[in-house]
Chain A
Amino acid sequence: MDKVATSGAAAHGHAHEHTHEHHELGFWRKYVFSQDHKVIGIQYAVTGLVFLFFGFTLMMIMRWSMAYPIRPIPLIGSLLGQTRAPGGIMLPEFYNQLGAMHGTIMVFLGVVPLAVGGFGNFVVPLQIGAPDMAFPKLNMASYWVYFLGGVTMFVSFFVPGGAAMSGWTSYAPLSVIAQPGQLGQTLWLVGMVFLITSSLLGSVNFIVTIVQLRAKGLSWMRLPFFVWAQLVTAFLLLLAFPPLEAAGVLQLMDRVAGTSFFMPSGLVVGNVPVQVSGGGNPLMWQHLFWFLAHPEVYVLVLPAMGIVGEIIANNTRKPLWGYRTLVYAVAFLGFMSFIVWAHHMFMTGMGTTISAFFQTTTMIISIPSVIILTALLLSLWGASIRFTTPMLFALAFLPMFAIGGLTGLPLGLAPSDIPLHDTYYVIGHFHYVVAPGTIFALFAGIYYWFPKATGRKMNDVLGAIHFWGSFVCINIVFMPMFIQGLAGMNRRMYDGGLLYANNQGLPLQLNVVIGMAVWTLSLFQIPFIINFFASMKWGKKVSDNPWDATTLEWSAPSPPGHGNFLTEPVVYRGPYEYSVPGAAKDFSPQFEPERA
């Protein structure tokens, strides 16, 4: 009992209350090289947000070249330099760098670190009643390896020849022969090795933490849905990333050591035979890449679904519909995500048998997605809905994810993929899943858990402006892409597809509409940025459980101190016991014992 009280005092984080068990850490150990999951979570989240904004900025520049090809970029054109945009007019080389790095940064440096590193680290130990992650040092290492990867990617813009320019998929042989003798593509590979290593360290930690450190009474079917989502995500990271790490090293060897893992014999570039031993296979890279990159899609979307589940339960004031079904669906989704990868490769000369297999698995994986969406929608029936800022973003996730998921159907069947493959239809499809889908859910999570991290609430007026502005703009950005894609407009076109007859008229005009919407969308992020920083200092102070929520993190002080909980938490019931008939209030937290 004495020990609990001691760590309880420490949990308030006041220096004078510390006892012999906790010596005060210096600035560097407390805020920079911290081993506390909450500090690491916030480090991940803030770094991830910065990279999201950076990756978005790259797209804002690209969109100029597509909307107004061969015209000087206003404002920043002259700052880009002779090697990128002489006279302010973007070069195709620079466009390709922006494209490759936009994808890489958004996925590997923005969304995953925010969703898994940020929310996973901050929320999971609190939701399972653990004092910290199982391996705090490993956790710290994971963040700093990620940080190194980020620095490597960022620096690559400033080396001679610029950053990687072979797409975020880095298909060989293009990526192997690109920028010969220059560093850009090589740094991309080195950066990827760092990022994957970081994810591996994190995933092991999550699995052990969730399996071993659950509070007393927190059985598997009492776990919050978010923890389930993170657990499945951790398995995806653990099992899918090593093949790409290996493949990345092999491609690095192809670039710097003259090997030919992905280089076939007889290549001739610019009428000059390429001096490699040959015998490799470029499709091998695609298989290894997509073996990672398809589960990666679920690494992006599962934590988002978890966040949405938490917020919907809380703001509908009722249990999630079909909690068990949701858990099984997420686990099945995770498993299936390992055997659909080659649906990205229907156009590589795939035969009937293999394509039949991957088309079938792709149709099968759509079923748990539909189940999850249906369960979340049905959760709204009979609710008493509070339209809080986090709820607005969480609700928007549902139709946006629906559009993203449904438009995956024609791409997942090989014959209908023929006209749509590599067009803007694909871009529209996966951005609906990731941007107005996943990123909206991440915004929801930020508004929802901000009071736990800071003890203060974010402003709702700024939140509403951020939500409605972003919601309208982002749909004007991505909806026209389906029209462009159906018309046959190809992706990755420096001039937006200006030369091609099938793009004339509406598809090209839509490039201007999309550009305008992208730039306006950036303006609607300003209220969020102001809100985020101003609320830390001036936000309304709130109680430990401002949303009247039921899960364990809300029993800890806001912000939780070192060790998280004042007393060792004990769990008495399931995660979403809202509006229990006969209960005194409309929420029965997991941490409150039954009254006699």
Chain B
Amino acid sequence: MLELLGMPTQASTHAADIDNMIALIHWLMAVLFVGWGIFFVFVLFRFRKSANPTASYSGAKGKVAKYTEYAVIVVEAVLLVGYAIPAWAIRVGSFPSESEAVVVRVVAKQFEWQVHYAGADGRFGRREVRLVAAENPIGLDRTDPDAKDDFVDTNNLTLPVDRTILIHLSSMDVIHSFGLVEMRVKQDAVPGMDIPVWFIPNRIGEYEINCSQLCGLGHYRMRGFLHIKSEADFRSYLDEQAKGLTQ
């Protein structure tokens, strides 16, 4: 079923779970639709006027429809209780602790993704609205000691493979949506809110960040890049960025 549906590459640990659920639901849909379809075509043919000139006042008898109804209820209940609610609880309820995860802040603005790293000290520096400018897109206050080693990468999110990633997502202007197709991650970035997102990428590669919520005339080109690197390559990326700061 999954191949038939043509879902994109799976590159995070929870992607397969989500895809399996989608496949399962499409099986339910297919069974119901084919069942209804066969019945529909049959009755249109069998009970056309020329084949059945006198209609039956009492109509259909039997309990097949009722049992189908019950079956649908049971399958939906299983999907809901067995898959959907627990799977969602893991996505939005059981966040990794900040000390174990790789923590990154992603700040959305028309029409780019600003990726804010805490640097070697692991602490994010203060941001001020009045400091926002073309050369300081998120308004980082460099006088704050915590901000000294912070760096910001525009439209590029670089992360290590097989590590738990915790992203704090926010927006500076309008609602955007942070979509990582291959990670099966999507989360609206809502101004005024800091929304955490977590996942574990398990496949090294070059991917993209989609903006999935209409955010203005540049929405269609609000694309970022996601680089999933080996631990060593990720280290060297961080070192390079740190070096860039001191120059």
Contact = CB atoms under 8 A, between A and B. Distances in A.
B220 A382 contact: no
Given A316-B55, A501-B208, A92 B190 contact: no
Interface stretch (A204-212, A359-367, A442-450): A359-367
Say what secondary structure dominates the interface of chain B: mixed
Given A378-B65, A419-B181, A178 B208 contact: no
Nearest to A270: B110
Interface in B141-177: 172-175, 177
Contacts of A406: 29, 32-33
Interface string B12-26: 000001110110011
B28 A409 contact: yes
B57 A580 contact: yes
Given A283-B193, A348-B190, 12 more contacts: A92-B220, A173-B175, A173-B191, A268-B139, A282-B175, A321-B59, A355-B92, A413-B80, A415-B18, A416-B22, A494-B217, A499-B221
Question: For B173, B184, B192, which residue has the most chain A Cβ atoms within 10 angstroms?
Answer: B192
Contact of B191 (A267, A350, A419): A267
Interface stretch (B41-49, B230-238, B239-247): B41-49
A93 B217 contact: yes
B21 to A, nearest CB: 5
Interface in B193-217: 193, 195, 207-208, 210-217
Contacts of A498: 220
Nearest to B130: A273
Given A271-B133, A402-B36, A500-B223, A413 B84 contact: yes
A265 B47 CA distance: 65
Nearest to B14: A415
Contacts of B92: 349-352, 355
A480 to B, nearest CB: 11
A492 B214 contact: yes
A250 interface: no
A594 B175 CA distance: 65
Contacts of B18: 415-416, 418-419
A492 B111 CA distance: 15
Contact of B40 (A92, A266, A318, A398): A398
A269 B181 contact: no
Contacts of A419: 7-8, 18-19, 22, 181, 184, 186
Given A174-B175, A349-B193, A487-B8, A422 B83 contact: no
Interface string B87-130: 11101110000000000000001100000000000000000011
A502 interface: yes
Given A347-B177, A422-B212, A486-B6, A381 B21 contact: no
B173 A421 contact: no
A86 B88 CA distance: 47
Interface string A493-514: 1110111111000100000000
A495 B132 CA distance: 30
Contacts, number: 293
Nearest to B134: A271
A383 interface: yes
B155 to A, nearest CB: 12
B69 A384 contact: no
B228 to A, nearest CB: 14
A580 B67 CA distance: 29
Contacts of B177: 347, 421-422
Contact of B54 (A283, A384, A410): A384
Interface stretch (A10-18, A75-83, A164-172, A298-306): A164-172
A367 B68 contact: no
Interface stretch (A369-377, A469-477, A526-534): A369-377
Nearest to A488: B181
A349 B220 contact: no
A578 interface: yes
Given A269-B110, A413-B83, A174 B215 contact: yes
A337 interface: no
Interface in A548-589: 578-581, 586
A381 B186 contact: no
Question: For B22, B28, B83, B211, which residue has the most chain A Cβ atoms within 10 angstroms?
Answer: B22
Contact of A318 (B25, B55, B175, B188): B55
A414 B172 CA distance: 26
Contact of B29 (A351, A374, A409): A409
Given A267-B173, A374-B68, A359 B84 contact: yes
A494 B132 CA distance: 29
B57 A282 contact: no
Interface in B56-88: 56-60, 65, 68-69, 72-73, 76-77, 79-80, 83-85, 87-88
Contact of A377 (B36, B77, B88, B181): B36
A586 B55 contact: yes
A378 B59 contact: yes
Question: For A173, A271, A351, which residue has the most chain B Cβ atoms within 10 angstroms?
Answer: A271
A191 interface: no
A92 B28 contact: no
Contacts of B132: 268, 271-273
A347 B193 CA distance: 13
19 contacts: A96-B214, A171-B213, A171-B214, A174-B214, A174-B215, A268-B173, A283-B190, A318-B59, A321-B60, A349-B195, A366-B76, A374-B68, A402-B33, A414-B88, A415-B83, A416-B25, A419-B18, A486-B7, A490-B210
A351 B26 CA distance: 26
A34 to B, nearest CB: 40
A267 B207 CA distance: 29
Contacts of B139: 268
A133 interface: no
Given A270-B110, A271-B134, A409-B28, A415 B59 contact: no
B25 A173 contact: no
Nearest to B64: A378
A578 B83 CA distance: 46
Nearest to A99: B214
Contacts of A180: none
Nearest to A264: B192
A266 B55 contact: no
A367 B208 contact: no
A458 B25 CA distance: 42
A499 B214 CA distance: 16
Nearest to B25: A410
B57 A499 contact: no
A174 B108 CA distance: 13
A264 B26 CA distance: 40
A68 to B, nearest CB: 15
